[in-house]
Chains A and B, each alone.
Chain A
Amino acid sequence: MRGDDSVAGRVAALMRDSMFVDPPDDTTDIVASGLIDSMGFMRLFALLEDEFGIEVRSADLRLDHFRTIERIAGFVRDKRAARQPAGDHAAT
């Protein structure tokens, strides 16, 4: 189990508290299960950018990055890791 302060826990909280969708677990396919649609993705990107201080660029827009909470968390960690060498500190 993840802790709620983990990246996955924060992604799940964002979805629950700000998008009002609550996937049953971190590996549920939120696209196939119809929990998220195109407008939901737009909102999710804005929330992720604000929460984690990352930028979702056009090259990042691949469904495979966003199919599950687990993958979204992985995407966020990769984006933040990529920022570190530039000395740009993401929000905790």
Chain B
Amino acid sequence: MSWGDRGGRGRLELLVSAQAERDPGARAVVDGAAECGYGELENRANRLARALVDQGVGPGDRVCLMVPKSVSAIVAVLGVLKSGACYVPMDTASPARRLGRVLRRCGPCWVVADPGVSGLVAGCLDEAGPSSVRGVLWLGPVPEDFTAPAAVRPPVVPVGLDDGPAEPPPVRGDAGDLAYIMFTSGSTGEPKGVPVTHASVRHFTSWANTRFGLGPGDRVSGHAPLHFDISVWDVFGALTSGARLYLVPPHANLLPSLTADFLRRTGLTQWFSVPSVLVQMARRDVVAYGDFPDLRRLIWVGEVFPAAAVRYWMERLPHVELTNVYGPTETTIASSHHTLTSVPGPGAPPVPIGRAIPGERLAVLGADLAPLAPGVVGDLHIAGAGLSPGYWRDPAATAAAFREAPGGERWYRTGDLAAMDAEGVFHFHGRADRQVKARGHRVELDEIAVALGRVRGLSAGAVVAVSGDGFEGTEICAAYVPVPGGGRGPAELRAELAGTLPPYMVPTRWLVLDSMPMTPNGKTDHRAIEHRFLDATRRPSGHGSPDADRRPAGPGSADRCADTRGSLEREVGA
């Protein structure tokens, strides 16, 4: 029997079911000591799907997942798709105030929650307000300490994943339906939802699984959190090919040595990660020559991977193929790729973002959507099978970013600057706006600026990003002018921002100013503020202050960066 015959051809959950039918005993997901076979995964997802359908969930609906990365989280993703709805992965490390706004934007919606985050769920419901959430389904008994806010009393349903009927509900929807909505940083201060269809995910995963040769013998990393779209290939790349998905536990990310231990212990064959992790491992030299003997492929996305750190990895792991993939959430996981064929020498240019994967197109286009000549840096656009239908309930943002060319083709303007070389290979040249990549995450500096503007005790604030030579990554920096007599310190402000922003968006460097630098036409002079932070970075250790007018908020952090980078250069043999 073919799954395609049951309707819903090309839907992701059916491709996973086909693997469960092929070999139900094969291990599917490993999370530390917890393991789950394909057959069991299928049964648990069916039970959740039935509970969702019983609540009235179906195609076109949204189910927000508040489940830390675990076997249960993967069950939840599959269960939601089986119900016909799309999943909205929520970062359980983010504050309730931000997550509540996501619930509101998705409303009416349902929540699938892990009993371990009951306090966060209550906080989100309170923030989301009445009528956003139609029901909360707990993966297990309803937590005793959970009390829904008085104004918001959605039905609360416990779901037992381990017993009860495990027959799948009837297949609903088709491959043109949404598979997920990922919320990314938004420059207006509101998180921005990017919906993606089953067909777009399938387009990428079938190309990538073929290109990288994924199969039942593979052990694949699940490194990124589920609210980060590279997790989509981890999950569906592995589970549609019969491979085994190894979830990287949060503690393995804390120190580069622990990440390396995890790779050794699991014997991963494929690792999909971000440069900020790989650079830290190089910086602290935790990889031995010939380490990770089972590893075949190292793939990165999301940030520039400095050539010196690339060289470190290639020299230590000559048995591993390194590939850069590139693409924003709006075009589904990645849209171009470049595999390294030789070790970059000293002073080598950055690794290219490569060529488009089949079925997608990259182009550097001018204002009229006409292509620019090779070698000319301009706005990078993407078209083809990965394109999102447009931002969730935001027609203005959609119209600004997704545009139709005279021939009728839809192009997404990435906001990245790039140039195509004479061979048709694309090279990244930075951003055209105030979006940055920090620790692998895509961050709109203006979202942080909006949050900073809501903090009391400041008469002015500004947020910039500073990157040195790339080894320390991009640092988010905040400068502010306190109200007279209202001197709040950076540690206090930082803690307050952590109550409204996800951890990776909270500024790590701070500067107290007497007055905010302004441009001649009366706007905050971000460039001048960047220079203040950069000057502090370049200054030799232990002297001076980044701000001549006044005590710097963090002389140590700023001054010591120079030394840090110097030692990295030595360590990676630059």
Task: Enumerate chain A interface residues (CB-CB to B < 8 A).
Answer: 14, 16-22, 31, 34, 37-39, 41-43, 45-47, 49-51, 56-58, 61-63
Complex Cα spacing A34 to B95, Å:
13
Task: Classify the interface of chain A: helix, strand, loop or mixed.
Answer: helix
**B283 contact set on A, CB distance < 8 A:** 42
Other-chain contact of A50, B494, B541, B554 (Cβ < 8 Å): B541
Chain A residues contacting B554 (CB-CB under 8 Å) are 17-18, 20
A-B pair count, CB < 8 Å, reads 84
**Quick check: is B556 within 8 A (CB to CB) of the other chain?**
yes
Q: Return the 3 tightest CB-CB contacts between A and B, nearest first.
A: A18-B556, A61-B257, A46-B564
Choose among B280, B285, B439, B508 the residue that contacts A20 (Cβ–Cβ < 8 A): B508
Stretch at the interface among B48-56, B97-105, B247-255, B355-363: B247-255
Question: Chain B interface: which size bin?
Answer: 35 or more
CA–CA, A41 and B277, complex, Å: 12
Between B254, B490, B567, the greatest number of chain A beta carbons within 10 A of the residue's beta carbon is seen for B254
- The reply to whether B563 and A50 contact each other, CB–CB distance below 8 Å, is yes
A-B contact pairs, 20 of them (CB 8 A): A14-B556, A18-B555, A20-B553, A20-B554, A31-B254, A37-B253, A38-B254, A38-B439, A41-B254, A41-B255, A46-B561, A49-B563, A50-B556, A50-B564, A51-B556, A57-B285, A58-B256, A58-B286, A61-B256, A61-B286
- In this complex, what residue of A is CB-closest to B510? A20
The CA of A46 and the CA of B472, in the complex, are separated in Å by 11
Closest to A14 in B: B556
Residues of B within 8 A of A63 (CB): 251, 254-255, 258
State the CA gap A68–B472 with chains docked (Å).
Answer: 24
Does B459 interact with chain A (Cβ within 8 Å)?
Answer: no
Q: B284: CB under 8 A from chain A?
A: yes
Shortest Cβ distance from A42 into B: residue: B280
User: In the assembled complex, which residues on chain A have CB atoms less than 8 Å from the CB atom of B567?
Assistant: 46, 49
> Are B255 and A21 within 8 A (Cβ)?
no
Distance, CA A45 to CA B256, complexed state (A)? 12
Please state if A47 and B556 are interface contacts (CB–CB under 8 Å): yes
Tell me whether A50 and B560 are in contact in the complex, defined as CB-CB below 8 angstroms, given that A37-B254, A61-B255, A63-B255 are known contacts: yes
Q: Does B197 have its Cβ within 8 Å of any Cβ on chain A?
A: no
In whole angstroms, what is the CA distance A82 to B283 when docked?
Answer: 23
Contact across chains for A43 and B508 when beta carbons are under 8 A apart:
yes
What would 4 more interface pairs be, CB under 8 Å, given A47-B556, A58-B256, A62-B255?
A: A17-B556, A39-B439, A46-B561, A49-B564
Are B560 and A47 closer than 8 Å at their CB atoms? yes
Residue of B nearest to A65 (CB): B255
Interface string of B276-292 (1 = CB under 8 A from A): 11001001111000000
Residues on the B chain within 8 Å of A43, using CB: 508, 557
Instruction: Select from chain A the residue with minimum beta-carbon distance to B558.
Output: A18
Taking CB as reference atom, which chain A residue is nearest B260?
A: A58
Question: Is A20 in contact with B284, judged by CB distance below 8 angstroms?
Answer: no
Is residue B399 within 8 Å, beta carbon to beta carbon, of the partner chain? no
Query: B473 in the interface, Cβ–Cβ < 8 Å?
Result: yes
**Which residues of the other chain, A, contact B563 by a CB distance below 8 angstroms?**
46, 49-50
Q: In the complex, what distance in Å separates the CA atom of A56 from the CA atom of B557?
A: 17
B421 to chain A, nearest CB (A): 34
Known contacts A20-B490, A20-B494; A39/B508 CB under 8 A: yes
Q: A38 to B255, Cβ gap below 8 A?
A: yes
- Which one of B255, B285, B557, B560 has the highest number of Cβ atoms from chain A below 10 Å of its Cβ? B255
